[in-house]
Amino acid sequence: MSRLACMLMKVDVIRDGIRVGTAQTRVANTAPALYQRLRGPYADLDASIARALPLPPPAAPAQVARENFADVVLSPPDSPRRHQLRVGLGHPVLFDHPVDHAPGMLLLEAARQAGHTAVQQPAAMLSMDVVFARYAELDTPCWIHTDPFPTDQPGRHRVLVTAVQNDVCVFSGIITLLSVPQDRPLPARCPPHGPHRPAGRAPPACTARTAGGAGGRRAGCGGPPARCRRTWRPRAASRRSWRPAGAPYGRGSSPTRWRR
The domain locations on the chain are 6-259
6-259 fold: Thiol Ester Dehydrase; Chain A (3.10.129)
- Residue partners of 165: CB distance under 8 A and separation at least 6: 134, 136, 137, 140, 141, 142, 143
So what's the pLDDT on residue 243? Answer: 37
Mean pLDDT of the chain: 76
Q: How many angstroms separate the CA atoms of 202 and 236, rounded?
A: 13
Q: How many angstroms separate the CA atoms of 101 and 110, rounded?
A: 15
pLDDT digits 0-9 by tens, 63-84:
999 999 999 999 998 887 999 9
pLDDT digits 0-9 by tens, 212-256:
332 222 334 444 444 443 333 333 344 444 333 333 333 333 445
Q: Give, as one character, the DSSP assignment of residue 248.
A: S
User: For 147, phi and psi rounded to 5 degrees?
Assistant: -140, 140
So what's the pLDDT on residue 257? Answer: 52
Q: Is the pLDDT of residue 5 over 80?
A: yes
β-strand partners of 13:
21
User: Does residue 260 contact residue 243 with C-beta atoms inside 8 Å?
Assistant: yes
Q: Among the residues of 14-103, which ranges form H helices?
A: 32-39, 45-50
pLDDT digits 0-9 by tens, 57-67:
999 999 999 99
Band (169; pLDDT cuts 50, 70, 90): very high
Mean pLDDT of all residues in 155-167: 94
